[in-house]
Amino acid sequence: MNSSLNAARRRRELDEVRSDVVDVLVVGLGATGAGAALDAASRGLSVAAVDAHDIAFGTSRWSSKLIHGGLRYLASGQVGVAWESAVERDALLRFTAPHLVSAHPYLLPLTPAVPRSMAASLMAGYRLGDALRAAARTPRHLLPGPSRLAARRTLTLAPYLRAEGLRGGLLSWDGRVVDDARLVVALARTAAAHGARVLTRCRALALAGDGARVRDELTAEEFDIRARAVINATGVWAGELTPSVALRPSRGTHIVLRPGALGALHAGLHLPIPGERNRFALVLPQADGRVYAGLTDEPLDGPIPDVPEAPESDIAFLLDVLGTALDHPLRRADVAGAFAGLRPLLDTAGAPASLGGRTADLSRRHAVLRSPDGVVTVVGGKLTTYRRMAEDAVDAACPHARPSRTARLPLVGAGPVRPGTPGRLARRYGSEAWAVRELMREDPALAEPVALGITRAELVWAVRHEGALDADDLLDRRTRIGLVPEDRAAALPAAEAALAYS
């Protein structure tokens, strides 16, 4: 079946779901829900999957974009979580999304804040992480091992580091997705290719074991979707639909620096957070030239916003941490944008008190919970482990279904890339890049860049095939132009033109 999502398909499938009974209704189209829709549809089940807003509207688009092997969890003794991460990273790198996920180098500068004993134990940790890589069968050419660098080489990779007192650096490698929202769109489209009905702007108002009351947010019309099984994959909002699920959200903020703000940065950075054990700030150069730096971990009390705000206090904190390692301290004016996401951490009774109430220390493992009305909620976990979460949720919701097939199921775009395809397009579209180029050939005006090298053709492609329904979908999720407010304002007319063109 066709993987293209667009307004016409949405209209048609909305009509269909009103009269059908589906095997599985998935609520929420983040990585977990889109993954569950794919997992169920590829087992041959009929699926409807709804989101109140858009694909990747929630936490999934605010991540650090690391597809990580779980090193942090090893350090805190959560070996099972680390192993699961390493296995899922392997699946993404080798089989399911090799066009979107690749290895990136990270440098831990050996500054005076990193004593020799700490450097030795960090290196031992990296080696353990490399052993997990080998056990998960990820070849070394896809994910190189760690090494120690001299100070000169360290400064070549990160020229803005403070040279004074620098003893060198520890270089390690981990997976990263080019854009978290693109991974979720690829999941949703692959689910659609297996027959799932993927319906954005459809808010679940109430759930039961046999379906949901849903409101079409474009028309305000309410209707029922009847289902044999219901999966609540609404992340940090899960408790609003299933009150027995208690969450303890924590806010993570990243700042966005303009291309070049940290010089010619050739590796990500791990910078120790002063006064903390085993917590590091991350500096993450992106394929589009911007640099993200994060991240905070602050418990959130009160109502859960649709789009969390990054407070000035978080931005100041991150600038301070970067200032501990840089030769040219950054100023507030260097911050072009900021974003925050809410971690859907489970409030496991007893753990918060015993850990002093720190969300940074709560387990990052996922949970699959069945409530008395029969709804299965899947929550917690990570972007990296979305596939395993999805498999566990479908196993729980549909115990008689055939086994999951997703561990080796390539996502849309995972096929061979035609020779001569520009690298930027190949990294975002994989085997579909030629079709995006074809649009530019048919109408050369579509080759015009909008921002960050993104062309008008890509916006038109997103409307025709990636389910973008309005300018917000285009600027904030199908592309990430919107992370910098001035870039967003400049690109808005192009987004509106793409909607009219399509």
Ligand X SMILES: Cc1cc2nc3c(=O)[nH]c(=O)nc-3n(C[C@H](O)[C@H](O)[C@H](O)COP(=O)(O)OP(=O)(O)OC[C@H]3O[C@@H](n4cnc5c(N)ncnc54)[C@H](O)[C@@H]3O)c2cc1C
Please give the residue ranges that form the binding site for ligand X (CB under 6 A). Answer: 27-33, 50-53, 57-60, 62-66, 68, 203-204, 233-237, 241, 252, 295, 341-344, 381-384
Q: Whole-number minimum distance, CB 150 to ligand X, in Å?
A: 29
Shorter beta-carbon distance to ligand X: residue 103 or 440: 103
Amino acid at 266: H
DSSP state letter for 243 = T
Radius of gyration for the alpha carbons in the chain, expressed in angstroms and rounded? 22
Shorter beta-carbon distance to ligand X: residue 110 or 230: 230
User: Distance between CA atoms of 252 and 281, rounded to whole angstroms?
Assistant: 11
Nearest CA to 386 out of 28, 25, 23 is that of 28
Shorter beta-carbon distance to ligand X: residue 168 or 235: 235
Shorter beta-carbon distance to ligand X: residue 203 or 424: 203
Shorter beta-carbon distance to ligand X: residue 23 or 174: 174
Shorter beta-carbon distance to ligand X: residue 42 or 59: 59
Q: Whole-number minimum distance, CB 306 to ligand X, in Å?
A: 7
Shorter beta-carbon distance to ligand X: residue 17 or 451: 17
Torsion sign, CA atoms 251, 257, 261, 266: positive
Contact 41, 189 (CB under 8 A): no
Residues in the chain: 502
Contacts of 12 by beta carbon, 8 Å cutoff, 6+ apart: none
Q: Whole-number minimum distance, CB 56 to ligand X, in Å?
A: 6
List of long-range contacts for 212-217, beta carbons under 8 Å, 24+ apart: 212/25, 212/27, 212/50, 214/50, 216/14, 217/52, 217/53
Q: Buried b vs exposed e over 145-155: b needs ≥16 C-beta within 10 Å?
A: ebebbebeebb
Shorter beta-carbon distance to ligand X: residue 125 or 168: 125
In this structure, what is the dihedral angle of CA atoms 484, 336, 109, 71, given to the nearest 10 degrees?
-30
Q: Whole-number minimum distance, CB 349 to ligand X, in Å?
A: 21
Contacts of 112 by beta carbon, 8 Å cutoff, 6+ apart: 165
Q: Whole-number minimum distance, CB 315 to ligand X, in Å?
A: 14
Terminal alpha carbon distance of the chain: 22
Q: Whole-number minimum distance, CB 308 to ligand X, in Å?
A: 9
User: Distance between CA atoms of 392 and 371, rounded to whole angstroms?
Assistant: 15
Shorter beta-carbon distance to ligand X: residue 297 or 432: 297
User: Distance between CA atoms of 417 and 32, rounded to whole angstroms?
Assistant: 27
Q: Whole-number minimum distance, CB 133 to ligand X, in Å?
A: 16
Q: Whole-number minimum distance, CB 327 to ligand X, in Å?
A: 27
User: Distance between CA atoms of 148 and 168, rounded to whole angstroms?
Assistant: 7
Q: Whole-number minimum distance, CB 297 to ligand X, in Å?
A: 8
